[in-house]
Every structure is written in structure tokens, then in C-alpha cells.
Amino acid sequence: MTHKLYWQDPYRTQFTARVVARVEEDHRPGVILNRTCFYPTSGGQPHDTGVLAQIPVVDVTEDPSGRIIHWLAAPLPEDLEEVHGEIDWARRFDFMQQHSGQHLLSAAFQELLYRPTIGFHLTETSLTIDLPGPPPEAEAVEQVLDWVQGVVQQALPITARLYPLEEAIRLPLRKPPRVSGPVRVVEIQGVDWSACGGTHVRQTSEIGHVVITRLERRGDQTRVHFLAGGRAARDHRQRIHVTQQLTAQLSTHLQDLPQAITRLQAQVKESHRAVRQARELLTRAEAQRLIAEAPRTGGVDVVYHLLEPDTMWSMEELMKALISFPSVVALMGAMEKGRARWMAGRSANVPMDMLENLSELKETFDVQGGGAPDLIQGVAPDFDTLEKALHLLQAFAFDLPDLV
């Protein structure tokens, strides 16, 4: 087994070690050392990064035998039997803050709300725990955060110790251990005992601030999104910056910001409604103009219209308006995003089966489409084919029997 220096001192950043073996997997070089400061991905905590002999360490894993494999950006020189390593301390300390904050927050939810942690996820950008049941009420969440901050301010020691299994099971662990041998227990003095192999800060004050950013309901569980330490501080600064911009733009105070946004949303909603109504009126007026200018045969107005690429009219909206009038057959085409697109529809009182016409279109021209007896649409390989297809449909409309 690789000797885990990070268990002895998680604050240690540099070390020297003897090369035990060189490995390769999927053309990726790796090295096993007799000891290491590099933490491997495990227990929900991501791996450390850094350098070995000035070669970047891009991943760290642990095999079932307890050997830690350092995956490198380039092979280690064959003549090296001893290497110097250095971890990325900023990344390590960030994970220490987040993982310690997770232990504390999980202890708070269990202590105050009887909600055990059933899932833990830590990445470079996110930190979550999963709880059973629906999201807690806002007042309960505030109580949890107050409890956590109180423990942070007490600067309680955080220690890690290996216990024989028979001793570990007598401790008030939040979860029973999953190992059959010695159990490493991380203790926040008098507050929390957890079986854990991760790296942690020395005392609760180093966790800094803990903030919950979102509660997400996931079936019968709740995912708690939160931040600790430097991440919480950066998030706090960003929120201040955003709220300052919003209060300045809306000419309001911070405490009045929610009401100002609610008023703005109501105004936007009303504006959208007015725009939608105006657009419907304009579309209907355009449909009436096209019908008035269309040739009439057998009591049917046959509208043939090609839309310009930058027209304000939506083909679907205009077609819907046209065939809402009685005794209309509407044929339209346009070039949209490099495609020749067409639509053909008829009023409810016009005895024209558009699906039958579509079958003949497909037999005659290289067009694609589908639809219903009153409305068909599709695409053509080019605009010339589109026009020919619409002219054929126009001929079918002119051949309709007179409406009674």
C-alpha cells in the first residue's frame, strides 16, 4: 500500500518518494510511489493535482490493493528512482474547506431536523448533499445555518484517527462504517463523528462561512446546494455586485428590490400581451388584404403568396389567419435558413383534400411534407421546385367545383 502522507498532515504540500512501479492505461502514463501527498478521488472528494518531477499530475486514483496511481501528462524518465512532488495547495485547501463544511452542515441537518445525509457530491464548481423528504421550510434552514455558524465561531478542533472496527461502532457515527478493517473517523469535537478518508481543516474556524444557495426537490429527496470558505466569500461578493447593479438600474433600495422586480415582471407580461394582440390584429389585417387581392374562382379565393426572408409575418400565423376566413385556399412559400419551405391550407367549407394533393406533389416533384386534410406543409430542394409545387396546388384549387 502507498503510505498516505495526507492523512498524517493534510497541510503538507511537498514530499520526496521512491518510485515503486510505472504503469500505462489507454496510452496514459502513471507512476506508483512508496508514499504520497496526493489525495486520490474517493469518498466524494476529487483528486489533487500538482507536479511530480515537474511533470503535471492530471489524475490520481487508488486501486483495490491500496496502491495510489499518479497519472501524468507525460511519462516519467526511466532513470528516475526518486521523485519530488508538490500538490496544488489552492485546490487542496478549497476541497478541505468544502468537505469540512459538508460534515458540519450534515451534522446540523441531522441534529436539528432529523434529516440524515444520503448523498454527497463535491466538484471544482459545485457542492451538494442529498436529504430525504421535501425541502425544509425557510425558517428551519435559517436555524440550521445559525447552528453551523455558531460552531464555526467556536473554532472547535477537527481531528482524524484510525479506530479498530469494534471501537468505531461504539462511537456516535452519523453513518455506520462500510469497511471491515480499521475505520478512520473524522471528529468535529463534541459535534460530529464521521467515518471518512478525506482531507479536512484543523478547526471549524477555517471553514469560514457556509451558505445554502438553493434547495432542489428531486422526487422524494431534497438536494441542498451550498458553499463554504473561499467559495462562499466569492459568491457573496458576486451577489453584492449583482444587487448593486440591479438597485442602481431600478432606482430602488436593496430591501425593495423583490417588489421592484415583481412590478417589472408584471409590466413585461402586460407588454407581451399587448404586443401579441397587436400582432394578431395586424396578421388578420394582412390576411384580409391578401384575400381581397387574390383571384376568385367558383366562390373560392385562391391566395398565392411568397414571403420575403425578413418579413415580420410568421408563415404559421398568417396561414392560420387566412383559413379562418370562409372560402379560402392559401398557398405560401419562403426561404428560411437556406431551406425552401411551403404550406398549403384551406377553409373548413372548401371541399379540397390536401393530403390527396400532397401525394400527387410527391409523385411529381422532389418535395417532402405531411399534414392533415385541411393543411399540409413541407420543404423542397430549391426555390424553383417550391414554386412549381405551389403552382400545381393552385391549379388544383382552380379546378374545384363551385361552392354552393
One DSSP character per residue, 106-152 reads: HHHHHHHH-----EEEE-SS-EEEEEESSPPPHHHHHHHHHHHHHHH
pLDDT exceeds 70 at position 303: yes
The Cα 370–Cα 91 span in angstroms is: 57
Place of cell 415583481: 262
Q: pTM, whole model, 2 decimals?
A: 0.74
The Cα 296–Cα 390 span in angstroms is: 17
Going from the C-alpha of 353 to that of each of 27, 32, 311, 394, the distances in angstroms are: 63, 75, 29, 13
Average pLDDT over residues 373-382: 92
| pLDDT at residue 179 in the model | 80
Q: Residues near 159 by Cβ (< 8 Å), separated by ≥ 6?
A: 186, 187, 189
Amino acid at 51: V
Lookup: cell for 97: 474547506
The Cα 107–Cα 120 span in angstroms is: 13
Q: Residue 350: which pLDDT band, with cuts at 50, 70 and 90?
A: very high
Tens digits of per-residue pLDDT, 108-124? 999 999 999 999 999 99
pLDDT exceeds 90 at position 313: no
Q: Residue 404: which pLDDT band, with cuts at 50, 70 and 90?
A: low
Average pLDDT over residues 265-287: 93
Q: DSSP letter for 348, please.
A: T
Which of 3-17, 215-229, 333-347 is least confident? Answer: 333-347
Q: Residue 400: which pLDDT band, with cuts at 50, 70 and 90?
A: confident
pLDDT exceeds 80 at position 309: no
**What is the Cα Rg of the chain in Å?**
35
Tens digits of per-residue pLDDT, 229-275? 999 999 999 999 999 999 999 899 999 999 999 999 999 999 999 99
Beta bridge partners of residue 184, listed in sequence order: 162
Average pLDDT over residues 287-311: 90
Lookup: cell for 360: 400527387
| pLDDT at residue 1 in the model | 85
| pLDDT at residue 311 in the model | 75
Percent with pLDDT over 90 in the chain: 84
| pLDDT at residue 177 in the model | 86
The Cα 350–Cα 325 span in angstroms is: 11
Mean pLDDT over the full length of the chain: 93
Stated as kind and residue range, the H or E segment containing 340 is: strand 339-346
Apex 328 CA angle, 327 and 332, nearest 5: 175
How many Cβ atoms sit within 10 Å of the Cβ of residue 14?
A: 12
Q: Residue 335: which pLDDT band, with cuts at 50, 70 and 90?
A: confident
Tens digits of per-residue pLDDT, 30-69? 999 999 999 999 988 999 999 999 999 999 999 988 899 9
The Cα 336–Cα 151 span in angstroms is: 62
Are 346 and 323 in contact, with CB atoms under 8 Å apart?
A: yes
Q: Which domains does the chain have, with CATH numbers?
A: 3-87 (2.40.30.130), 92-247 (3.30.980.10), 279-398 (3.10.310.40)
| pLDDT at residue 336 in the model | 80
Handedness of CA 30, 36, 37, 42 (dihedral sign): positive
Lookup: cell for 266: 408584471
Which of 16-30, 96-110, 303-317, 367-381 is least confident? Answer: 303-317
Q: Residue 310: which pLDDT band, with cuts at 50, 70 and 90?
A: confident
The Cα 326–Cα 344 span in angstroms is: 15
Apex 187 CA angle, 180 and 13, nearest 5: 90
pLDDT exceeds 70 at position 136: yes
Q: Residue 308: which pLDDT band, with cuts at 50, 70 and 90?
A: confident
Q: Residue 321: which pLDDT band, with cuts at 50, 70 and 90?
A: very high
